[in-house]
Chain A
Amino acid sequence: MSRVTITTKKSSHANKFGKLILDDGTVFDGMGFGYSTTVFGEIVFNTGMVGYTETLTDPSYSGQILTLTYPLVGNYGVPDSSIKDQDGIPKFFESNKIQLRGLVVHELSLTASHWNLSMTLDEWLYNEKIPGISGIDTRALTKNLRTGGVMMAALVVSDTEINVDEIKKQLSSAPNYNSEQFMDTVSTKQEVMYGSEEKSVVVIDTGTKNAILRNIRDLGYKVIKLPWNTSFEKIMSYHPKGVVISNGPGDPQKCPDTIETARKLIENNIPTLGICLGAQIIGLAGNTQTYKLKYGHRGQNKPCVNLENNQVYVTSQNHGYGITPESLNASEFNLWFTNADDKTVEGIKHKKQNCIAVQFHPEAAPGPYDCKFVFEELKHLMEEGKSAEE
């Protein structure tokens, strides 16, 4: 009547020396876990209460040290990364590795328990050479970031005592997140196909999560994943029904090739959906501007209003940049979704062409599934040549 065997695992790399040092001079003392090393990156926070597996493998976190505001992390372990679905898309992971540079938590669960686990969070970080720190007052840290804005930080995990002054020195000369170029590391180098359906959709991989691929596939299309700088002409050579420009890390301005491709996609009225970074790229292609948010939107509880029917959806988000609201007026787009809390731009629709974009993550993983209809909307554009709402 109960489980035959229980699936629990114990952490084995926890309780090392650990320090988190912020650019503003704040030093947090904690316990290191995962891999012993020093990393530098932009420190950000996410308020989701579940979904660290999905979060850690989301390429949008490249270059960042992530703080989870939920204090108990690692409870259900990590599933087997090698498990793939029938089309070869990893079942539980959003990419093939941990994408962030370091992880900051209040409490690492030393024992994980779940029917689907294959390792602990600690073990996973260790295997992927990523440092983690626990025992941090993550609420205090979050408040610091909320008021001071996101900033560069150093995370040190060590088997010996840590020299803070030395690390501070290194931090001041570490390359700044804002100037980093991530596309070469997060984007696929060559085309990858998933599925064997006749009709296809191209996903321009600016750091895509596998959930986007899964959702397109589930719509009934073959997915063709292409590098971030693939030209419009090359894309059209696949005769796709539509194109998705994916999520991804960093400043959208750092993707001029993708912006150029987007411009042509719009010009030629190719049904296109932009997600997150993809939305910013589409925005830039259609004359909007983008800016960096003070501390971004990262969580699973972000309310967005669909201005077409006034319905509010709870969305999953992870972005540090956004489309400047004021720049919409002079652009080719209408506002589609707006953030109910701070009125930032959450979705746009092209005034004439078959092009839509959302700042949030309709593919979820992690987060709520409420906005899957965005993919249906793309399908409508591809099949009917118009938006479902019209």
Chain B
Amino acid sequence: MLPVNVEYVESIIEKERPDGIMLAYGGQTALNCGVNLAQAGILEKYGVHVLGTQIPGIQRTEDRQLFKDSMNQCNVPILKSRTVTNFIDAKVIAQELGYPVIIRVAYTLGGKGGGVAYNEIELHEIVERGLRASLVGQVLIEEYIGHWKQIEYEVMQDYDGNNVIVCNMENVLSMRVHTGDNIVVAPSQTIDNHEYHMLRSAALRATKHVGIVGECNIQYGLDPDSDRYVAIEINPRLSRSSALASKATGYPLAYMSAKIGLGYTLPELENRITKTTTACFEPSLDYIVCKHPRWDFAKFDLVKRKLGPTMKSVGEVMAVGRSFEESLQKSIRMLDIGNDGLVLNRTTMESYDEEQIEEYLSHPDDLILYYVAAALKMGISVEKIYKLSAIDPWFIEKIKNIVDIESKLKQEQLTTSLLWESKKMGFSDKQIARAKDKSAEEIREIRKKAGVLPSVKQIDTLAAEWPAVTNYLYLTYGGNQNDIEVTSDEKGVIVLGAGPYRIGSSVEFDWGTVNMVWGLQENGEKNVSVVNCNPETVSTDYDICSRLYFEELTLERILDIAEFENPKGIVTCVGGQTANNLTLSLAKNGINIMGTAADDVDRAEDRSKFSAELDKLHIQQPRWQAFSNIAEAKSFAQDVGFPVIVRPSYVLSGAAMKVVWSQNELKKYVKEATDVSPDHPVVISKFMLNSLEVDVDGVSNGTDVIIGAIVEHIESAGVHSGDAMMCIPPWRLNNKTIETITEYSTKIAKTFNVKGPFNLQFLIHDDHVYVIELNIRASRSMPFVSKLVKTNLISLAAKAILGKPLPKLPENKWQKIHNFGIKVPQFSFMQLEGADIRLGVEMQSTGEVACFGTSFYDALAKGLTSAGYTLPRTGTALVTVGGSQNKEKLLQPIARLKSLGFKILATEHTAEFFEEKIGDVEVVHKISEPTRKPNIADLLYERKIDFIINIPSTSTLEKYVGMLEDEYQIRRKSLELGIPVLTTIELADSFVKTLEWLRDNQTTKDPIEHYDKID
């Protein structure tokens, strides 16, 4: 587990001496690293061959000018555009092409830093930002074709030049919106045979010409008024789109591409679904797939929700159905954002006047399709909606079908034929219930009695032309025959996955899901099925389990599947909060929950019950209270004193969780919290300043409890656990505290009869140990703990779930590990235009890295490097700190920095303080005072600052007391310029100590060790 950069990869090449290297599988990070390795002559030096697309081929797609030349050579049209390296040239080109123009950045990720400029001022801002984000200092200015159709093709090609199209896709929101943020259907829906094959041929021509070996994605703009088209870009690697295409078709692109990289030809490889036909073919779909992005804008302050050329979503789902309406509404439910479909949701959209709706349709944000539905209800014509939104009328008409069914449901009697009609249009029982003023259970009863049931269909790559041996399945109302049957001797276990990646629930839970499947299989379960809907996951690879249901994680659908499968039981403890939240309702419907009993899970999730149990155990909690009206809340807050934390009872990743400092704020956030989780009461608790947070991950079978590890947060409490840097072993806890935590954990696990994984969060304040919460499920930190401690906690959990004894592990094994492990969050603020990067109780990180080392600083140095921090040897640091307490705390780190030879710059007050204490501090002036020089803005742009320590004023937590515009400006600008900003004292301190350590030490570069064998 090492950073993916030239330095570290070279060290591995030097040690391992491989014959070949594959660059197409680690996203843009790996591709860039590979190109850099080649350019630095490292691959040549060690005789390492690139397998798959060669470096010149990669460059022909990545470098804008080379790409243009290549497309011209193979007769594939492209947009009029020019590459520039400075603003003056950009201005000239933009005038030539005419505004609006789009700015694209060379060698970057996810359209990072690009944008549409409607005038010179916007052009200036975007070009400057883009030039800095680009690894090669280039941006492209091109004509803007936002209203064109955006069509993509996934291409496979071998060394012999055999090539096929695996999938094509159409973006519902046209060229206007980055494909990562677009609602995407596969196959394309609105283009005819001529257009389909014209683009297909061009794709094969283009990829052959640039020399792709393996897989690539080509993206087109297609004029909606003619067959004029342009190629936009080629991704010479596996991408988010290729993961989607793999799941959409059942054609495993990465697997095939790897084989091709090794030298196999396409016809030599077999179709892994039929096992009899060749992989050199083009899948034929007999369903429609709809991909829907998951955004988490609500977690970010000041962020712009508008969708455009920069990708902002954090995850996605894929729905399979036999009508567009069905797939679309399924996909909305899969997002797990509280919506039951496009219409008939719990919260009705507010009403708009025509002017507002026109504005919303013209500038899409995450609610665009809801606005289309609203516009249709207002009687705005399809034609007008099309003109404003550039969404093809075909899709608008389909949305109209959904809107029409809604009114039919509201007005007409619920006949069997109307039930069928609504189900075929993707309506859930909940939506129908809402229209009919009944409960979802009642609708389910009526529906089952009428025989309105979904069919189980296979995804088989060949539209039923050949028999499939793999059970890759989905459910649809567009049919009346099941493709498979589950006989009683195939009775198995169903494992629920975690749904879309989002802030707070990412690949960790997929790791849990997959390891649970394997664990169950290792312990003798022959038939393990998985239900999940996230195309980016391994758990949705159809060869992981016996039967894969690419389906919604909703009660209705899980019951459908359970009725079809008649399983021994369902595992809900590895799919994050999405799966966990279904535990109680599934149990109520008579489903056997495998693992901790639903009642016990409920006792942990329900704060009152949980507190009562803790009281019995004499274990303390920070003071809290549940309330349902604002008056009670206010009096509690007054009683314990501000700040307090407000949150809904059932919660993950701090959804709608806030630290509140005043009565007014309290009122505002109570409303937000009830919106997210209306069925559960809202909770406020005392917020304890200056305390440490600790996570415990463990497994129990009800009698024995295994503590995986105690994990300490490097930041003090108040930074969300998902955003905090974490360390094993803890470095600030004394032995007595560790003993107490261990004792509490064991007691709690036993009290709650935990059978499977659990995670406990503690707060340490003045040497007292408080319990914050218990999650009876796999946690975010479990893979991290498992890998460091060399004990796969989920494997143990599988045993526990099946009622098997847990193996005897060495007492406190985690304390005997010699390595240090550090987990560092990865943020994506850059893509979220306007977002502030200050951390708080709302989780904001979109990923994480972890590195192990022989010392704390060894691990931390690698962790920081992996997360994208540059660790300078010398240079200049800008320090701006609010509050005297913070300044005091930073004294030592700054002095240390100075002794390391760094030049210290600081804003007036900060400078004054440090000048007096340590001397030699240079004063710089605020961005808001541009006439006073030297000014921070200039220094940032001139790259005269290597990193910034910016501790927000008064307290890291006081986010809402009033944003200090100037500090925000500093953080935002430096972020946009790629300069590291350290916003907590702990991070600043660790960072400086790491720099010091690096002066005399080198990081280790060892591979991680295997899990210890358990019996």
A interface list, Cβ under 8 A from B: 1-3, 5-6, 8, 45, 47-51, 53-54, 69-72, 75-76, 79, 92, 106-107, 109-116, 137-140, 142-143, 146, 299-303, 305, 310-312, 314, 340-341, 364-370
Contact = CB atoms under 8 A, between A and B. Distances in A.
A50 B196 contact: yes
Interface string B378-406: 00001100110010111001000000000
Given A106-B478, A139-B463, A299-B465, A341 B276 contact: yes
Given A137-B479, A146-B464, A303-B280, A8 B266 contact: no
A142 B463 contact: yes
Interface string B285-320: 111100000000000000000000000000000000
Interface stretch (B160-168, B240-248, B719-727): B160-168
Contacts of B386: 2-3, 6
6 contacts: A47-B284, A49-B284, A75-B394, A79-B192, A115-B225, A299-B284
A340 B382 CA distance: 46
Interface stretch (B197-205, B437-445, B629-637): B197-205
Interface stretch (B133-141, B183-191, B574-582, B775-783): B183-191
A90 to B, nearest CB: 13
Nearest to B458: A139
Most chain B CB inside 10 Å of its own CB: which residue of A45, A53, A113, A310: A113
B465 A139 contact: no
Given A6-B383, A47-B463, A341-B277, A137 B284 contact: no
B284 A48 contact: yes
A6 B479 contact: no
Contacts, number: 183
B518 interface: no
A364 B197 contact: yes
B189 A72 contact: yes
Contacts of A314: 164-165, 280-282
B480 interface: yes
A177 to B, nearest CB: 20
B187 A49 contact: yes
B147 interface: yes
Instruction: Give the interface SS of chain A, mostly helix, strand, loop or mixed.
Output: loop
Interface string B146-188: 1100000000000011101100000000000000000000011
B915 to A, nearest CB: 57
Contacts of B392: 113
Given A49-B285, A69-B463, A72-B288, A111 B196 contact: no
A76 B190 contact: yes
B480 A137 contact: yes
Contacts of A312: 162, 266-267, 278, 280
B193 A365 contact: yes
Interface in B465-514: 465-467, 478-481, 483
A51 B194 CA distance: 8
B658 interface: no
A71 B189 CA distance: 11
Contacts of B277: 340-341
B479 A140 contact: yes
Most chain A CB inside 10 Å of its own CB: which residue of B284, B285, B383, B479: B284
A69 B276 contact: no
B800 to A, nearest CB: 41
Contacts of A369: 197, 200-201
A139 B479 contact: yes
Contacts of A138: 286
B689 to A, nearest CB: 54
A202 B478 CA distance: 47
A1 B147 contact: yes
Contacts of B478: 71, 106-107, 137
A115 B265 CA distance: 40
Nearest to B462: A47
B893 interface: no
Most chain B CB inside 10 Å of its own CB: which residue of A1, A72, A106, A115: A72
A113 B391 CA distance: 12
B455 interface: yes
B688 to A, nearest CB: 56
Given A8-B393, A146-B464, A140 B190 contact: no
Interface of B: 146-147, 160-162, 164-165, 187-194, 196-197, 200-201, 204, 224-226, 265-267, 276-278, 280-288, 322-324, 382-383, 386-387, 390, 392-394, 397, 455, 457, 462-467, 478-481, 483
Contacts of A69: 284, 286, 463-465
Contacts of A300: 282, 284
Given A109-B394, A299-B463, A314-B281, 4 more contacts: A2-B387, A112-B394, A139-B457, A312-B278
Contacts of A116: 192
B286 A139 contact: yes
A312 B279 CA distance: 11
Contacts of A79: 192
Contacts of B276: 341
A367 B280 contact: no
Contacts of B190: 75-76, 113-114
A302 B278 CA distance: 10
Nearest to B144: A1
A114 B193 CA distance: 12
B192 A71 contact: no
Nearest to A51: B193
Nearest to B385: A6
B267 A50 contact: no
A3 B224 contact: yes
B226 A71 contact: no
Per CB-CB distance, the 5 closest pairs between chain A and chain B, nearest first, are: A51-B193, A140-B481, A69-B463, A301-B282, A137-B479
Contacts of B265: 310
B79 to A, nearest CB: 15
A71 B197 CA distance: 19
Contacts of B387: 2-3, 6
A71 B462 CA distance: 13
Contacts of B197: 50, 364, 366-369
A368 B281 contact: no
Nearest to B168: A49
Contact of B324 (A72, A139, A302): A72
Contacts of A54: 193
Contacts of B467: 146
Nearest to A299: B284
Contacts of B201: 368-370
Contacts of A370: 201, 204
A3 B390 CA distance: 9
A299 B190 CA distance: 19
